Structure 1
């Protein structure tokens, strides 16, 4: 049974007539691991804010969701390999595969912080690294060499920034693991975390330039403002989290200590950029649903809007711990409830969708 949404087909590639009402597994959104990302980071945020029962409950839910989504994904690869390949090289759907990397790392972070299971977390981190390498060079090589490419206004969205989130999620989990291992391993993990943090920043600058250009110089319709545009903020929030963890690890890594002013400066830069996006995204959301009356219905992509809220909570809290910005403590205490409410709303939407379409599900 697949919880694929009705909107899961690529806007740039309509499904063949014979597959418009296919086994719903065939149309499973590549971005569905965004549910793991969202559930995991909201769980971690709740734990950081002193809600252990909520954190553990969401952790258990996330483990079940992660296993179920892998089962569906592997079954889809076996049953519909051509559909999976087409999604992989599609400019709009392809970046959704990076949710697998980020979701794996977020779950690994839960095993570190909520369960103290460092071996499980290390195994998940290794899986994420392999997936990141494979997906990064497959997707972006395909985008580069494919002959038929969509125009910029139809080929890029905030979903591209999932590549940044995936990169930074590896940095976050590496930094968390580095704090719990000795030598050999601690310096190497911190160095890799630093490298991934820098690579993620590089990718954000490249991609955000194109996305902002698309925002301001091409016609913008409510259809174009899909939920992954919240990743504009989420990518900066997870970059803030990775930078904060590097600062906290600097006592045990001399090369981090020498780079401390640079890391602190860019961490604040990332946090300030993410904070700037919040009012902008809220205004665009009001324009989309209030002024233009775009229908608000369940879509798996909405998990990509929940994740940034939880990540902003966790990253702001960790930045406060790393840099002593006590005057900002009101922010994570407020945002944790916003993140929990958003998660509950999207989960309710998923549950309602499953109940309404349970008779239609096919493998």
Structure 2
């Protein structure tokens, strides 16, 4: 039975196809929404409405994350045969990194918004979820590259900045550790959390910088990727923005935390490294930001087809905005405040645009397409077999 085009999910034969075709790139919605909520709360101007807007977005984001988690878990339970091929696909497994990154925005929201609602209980929730997030981030950051080495087919020509997604998740968790550590009552526990944050940062940023080097070479040799991957150029901003933010947050938290355990000198060094390192990565990010804008403008001449990749406009720009605003606070340089507020306005506009396009296309089911299933069914039809009988 086929639904009329005016009905929900009319692109599919049956609503259960939404579950069967549900892929982890939908978690990028929670990443973009969550980072906007956090950025609204970081504006140095005292505007209570921004805090209320941020709170509302954070609460909505919790619902979004739960919904995405249920749908993706249901896919593995009810359509296991269709879920397994993701590990061999050259692109879809990268979006597994979106799961811990989306969760990280909720954890940070408990500290930014939850404490005014439920008090110290918000910190307890944040600590519990952080451990889950850190384990997921490390697991994805190890599993997906291993699959790239052993199971997937890749070429330099087909490479895009999507390769960064599973790697960046660990540094996002590391940045969250810096903000969470100052809320812990035990000085030892706070120091341990701080050190875990640095380890997670180190598990991600150096490798991400290496990937950016290869990405630069790929762009020089093979030019821009296809239009459907156009927005991926913005993903290069992610590890640089998050890397800068992580150093700034960890460094700012270090003096007070480490002084309480007799490491005041190390705390002072960490604080200095945070500002200097944050400035260096911010400057590197500025280059990629300008380049991402220029690349996007070059695609506009041909037309930019909408897909879930458009959420790549939001989270990378969001973490870079947070790093910019944080630099304004820690350095006292007003220009960072101005740039940060301008970036927040752009981020808000992009988020609204992408949300409206997602709602429109998602309503008809156009965005619920699993490339790994489509590729398998195409291959099996080419050799004259029933796709449902082939498990590969």
Category of TM-score, reference length = shorter chain: 0.7 to 0.9
Name the SS of the counterpart of 2:41 in structure 1: helix
- Provide the rounded CA distance (Å) in 1 between the counterparts of 2:289 and 2:35: 18
> After alignment, is 118-127 or 250-259 more displaced?
250-259
Q: Aligned-pair RMSD on alpha carbons? A: 2.5
Of 280, 293, 306, 1:282 maps to 293
- Provide the rounded CA distance (Å) in 1 between the counterparts of 2:363 and 2:93: 28
Of 5, 27, 33, 1:33 maps to 27
1:1-363 pair list within 5 angstroms: 23-49=17-43, 50=47, 51-116=50-115, 117-146=122-151, 149-154=153-158, 156-181=159-184, 182-223=186-227, 225-252=229-256, 253=258, 254=263, 255-290=266-301, 293-297=302-306, 299-357=307-365
TM-score of the pair, normalised by structure 2? 0.80
TM-aligned CA deviation for residue 194 of structure 1: 1.4
Deviation string 1:151-175 (CA, Å, 9 cap, x unpaired) is 2212x21111113431111111111
TM-aligned CA deviation for residue 22 of structure 1: 8.6
Say if 1:153 and 1:256 are closer, same or farther in 2 by CA, change over 3 A. farther
> After alignment, is 58-67 or 320-329 more displaced?
320-329
Tell me the number of residue pairs that the alignment of Structure 1 and Structure 2 aligns: 340
Q: Who wins on radius of gyration, i.e. which is larger?
A: 2
TM-aligned CA deviation for residue 138 of structure 1: 1.9
Contact in 1 for aligned 2:38/2:54 (Cα 8 Å):
yes
Gaps of 5+ in 2: 1-7, 116-121, 370-392
Deviation string 1:185-214 (CA, Å, 9 cap, x unpaired) is 111011111122223221112211121111
Contact in 1 for aligned 2:231/2:296 (Cα 8 Å):
no
TM-score of the pair, normalised by structure 1? 0.87
TM-aligned CA deviation for residue 265 of structure 1: 2.6
TM-aligned CA deviation for residue 31 of structure 1: 1.7
- Provide the rounded CA distance (Å) in 2 between the counterparts of 1:226 and 1:208: 16
Equivalence for 1:16: none
- Provide the rounded CA distance (Å) in 1 between the counterparts of 2:305 and 2:228: 14
Name the SS of the counterpart of 2:154 in structure 1: coil
- Provide the rounded CA distance (Å) in 2 between the counterparts of 1:203 and 1:213: 16
- Provide the rounded CA distance (Å) in 1 between the counterparts of 2:84 and 2:169: 20
- Provide the rounded CA distance (Å) in 2 between the counterparts of 1:264 and 1:328: 13
- Provide the rounded CA distance (Å) in 1 between the counterparts of 2:239 and 2:101: 11
TM-aligned CA deviation for residue 118 of structure 1: 0.8
Name the SS of the counterpart of 1:149 in structure 2: coil
- Provide the rounded CA distance (Å) in 2 between the counterparts of 1:224 and 1:348: 19
TM-aligned CA deviation for residue 29 of structure 1: 2.8
